[in-house]
Amino acid sequence: MTNTIKEVQNSECMFIIGSNTTENHPVIGAMMKQAKDKGAKLIVADPRRIELSNYADVYMQIEPGTNIALLNGMMNVIVEKKLYDKKYIDDRTENFEELVELVKEYTPERVAKICGINEEDIIKAATIYAKANSAGIYYAMGITQHSTGTHGVMSISNLALMCGNVGKEFGGVNPLRGQNNVQGACDMGGLPADLPGYQKVFKEEVVEKFEKAWGSTLSTKVGLTIPEILDGCEDDSIRFLYIMGENPMVSDPDINHVKKALTNVDFLVVQDIFLTETAQLADVILPASSFAEKDGTFTNTERRVQRVRKAIEPIGQSKPDWQIIMEIMNTLGYKKKYLNSSSIMEEIASVTPQYGGISYKRLEADPMGLQWPCLDENHPGTPILHKEAIARGRGLFMPCEYVKSAELPDKEYPFIFTTGRILYHYHTRSMTGRVEGLNILAPSSYVEINEITARKMDIKDGDLVKLSSRRGEIETTAKVTDIIDEEVLFMPFHYAEGAANYLTNTSLDAISKIPELKVAAVKMEKAKKIEEAL
């Protein structure tokens, strides 16, 4: 997030696109509802009529995969009505003319057809957003998990820049990040081209700095992303795979492909707290301690670094992840030892500019933690990014054309299949699946089907249906609803039984390599009852 969570409650205008906030970031969702109660304007765009859309001033039920068309359409209206912030554009941005040129083609009339919504709603949404003194955009995987995900984010940035909403309180470009420490894992260099602090592995001065700090020789070759690693496991170019705290056998697209890869790799190490579907394929499993058994820090979606504190002793012989990794480093000949997680943070601060001023001592002193960038020990942290000036100098408009999803419905696979999370489970259920109450509230996999579609196909709520795509097939339970369009099906991806990801498409965004988990083409049939099948 460029801005902070605290601002949400006092927003003037919120635009929620591709985020089911009340289910996936429930506390932020509650704050959005509080803001609405206090008079904020709310615009929602989502293929499902999610809870927030019930309170929205404008709700647009867009077809999955059409975000960029909608965003360009809103910008078209803002340009036509001259509602953009001319001074901000002149003072702080560049390349506006090219954007104006591109969005000309995205008339509300044309966009309404692409997205399957009303022209008036596009105009209304654009007008509300642009007329607000400050307006925040909040998005999640509904924007990013597309073969055009990066362009989706750029289009959001275009819209925010055009109305002067970047670097402004209650405004901003605010991705709501799904996992507790996905921000931190990225910050720490858990990415194939980035050392800690997004310092590039191919830059000479960067590599030199880290070689000196770590006392070893580093590769300057950009590494592989997860989909490429899995391909490598299949074609034997990857022979040793070490997976920590991740369950691709449920979470990744095309599970049949994942299984082939993980079964084929020479040596698979899995480190986890439970025997997950992925761990079952391992050669060695290392038992890790849960968050309640270790010290450390998580960085939340607003870049806030906060303490994790040990509440109980490690279960069984399990160990904190950092300790296991350190011992493996030691066994492989790297002699450095860390006495505790605090000393690791000291090293992080010494090589990561954004974390330069972060230490356990400071985190203990303030229960609110610190928001990076926090450059040195006297730096107060940075609640709002780009406030004084846009970080790169001038905000760059990156006009993006709308491009259709990689796999579209056709005669054989007539439905658009989209996936997401629900309130009562978390990711692959390795934790929440072991909480009885959650299983009572959300026991098993299901697919949301529009009531008209269901009636046409003689499917009743609770019936077993068979879904298939070009990659696999599953059986799951029908949930007949009116919150989704007739040609769209939605499934939560949490469940290993009847897992949605047997169907999803591995097609990737060319820039970020994110898979297109939000759009695949599937067909649906009523599943045969067991007695009929016999």
In the bound state with another protein, the residue whose beta carbon lies nearer, of 432 and 477, is 432
Nearest-angstrom CA–CA distance, 478 and 448: 6
Are 18 and 46 a contacting pair, CB within 8 Å?
yes
Interface pick for another protein out of 75, 201, 465, 491 (rule CB under 8 A): 201
8-state DSSP, 529:
P
Stretch that binds another protein, among 72-80, 225-233, 471-479, 525-533 (CB under 8 A): 225-233
449 bridge partner residues: 480
Nearest-angstrom CA–CA distance, 456 and 404: 27
Stretch that binds another protein, among 81-89, 320-328, 410-418, 483-491 (CB under 8 A): 320-328
In the bound state with another protein, the residue whose beta carbon lies nearer, of 117 and 374, is 374
Interface pick for another protein out of 90, 105, 311, 443 (rule CB under 8 A): 311
**Would you give the binding string for another protein spanning residues 137-176, x where CB under 8 A is met?**
-------xx------------------------------x
Sequence-separated (6 or more) residues with CB below 8 Å from residue 445? 474, 476, 477, 491, 492, 494, 495, 497, 498, 499, 500
**Would you give the binding string for another protein spanning residues 100-119, x where CB under 8 A is met?**
--------------------
Distance of CA 217 to the CA centre of its chain: 33
Nearest-angstrom CA–CA distance, 461 and 478: 5
Interface pick for another protein out of 125, 514, 520, 524 (rule CB under 8 A): 514
In the bound state with another protein, the residue whose beta carbon lies nearer, of 284 and 408, is 284
Q: Where are the beta strands (DSSP E) in 160-319?
A: 173-175, 194-195, 199-200, 240-244, 267-272, 284-287, 296-299, 304-308
Within residues 273-302, the interface with another protein by CB under 8 A covers 273-275, 279, 282-288, 290-294, 296-302
Q: Where are the beta strands (DSSP E) in 383-427?
A: 395-396, 415-420
**Would you give the binding string for another protein spanning residues 396-425, x where CB under 8 A is met?**
---------------------------xx-
Within residues 420-449, the interface with another protein by CB under 8 A covers 423-424, 426, 430-432, 434-438, 440-441
Structure tokens given for 440? 């009572």
Q: Would you count residue 39 as binding another protein (CB under 8 A)?
A: no
In the bound state with another protein, the residue whose beta carbon lies nearer, of 29 and 47, is 29
Stretch that binds another protein, among 28-36, 377-385, 389-397, 444-452 (CB under 8 A): 28-36
Q: Would you count residue 27 as binding another protein (CB under 8 A)?
A: yes
Least gap, CB of 41 to another protein (angstroms)? 16
Count of beta carbons in the 10 Å neighbourhood of residue 211: 12
480 bridge partner residues: 449
Q: Would you count residue 325 as binding another protein (CB under 8 A)?
A: yes
In the bound state with another protein, the residue whose beta carbon lies nearer, of 326 and 464, is 326
The residue with tokens 């040793």 is: 240
Within residues 51-70, the interface with another protein by CB under 8 A covers none
Q: Would you count residue 50 as binding another protein (CB under 8 A)?
A: no
Count of beta carbons in the 10 Å neighbourhood of residue 240: 11
Q: Would you count residue 353 as binding another protein (CB under 8 A)?
A: no
Q: Would you count residue 327 as binding another protein (CB under 8 A)?
A: yes
**Which of 34, 225, 227, 71 lies closest to 154, judged by CA?**
71
Nearest-angstrom CA–CA distance, 404 and 337: 51
Sequence-separated (6 or more) residues with CB below 8 Å from residue 332? none
Interface pick for another protein out of 338, 398, 472, 479 (rule CB under 8 A): 338
In the bound state with another protein, the residue whose beta carbon lies nearer, of 322 and 394, is 322
In the bound state with another protein, the residue whose beta carbon lies nearer, of 58 and 345, is 345
**Which of 218, 180, 181, 182 lies closest to 199, judged by CA?**
218
* The pairing of beta strand 473-481 with beta strand 446-450: parallel
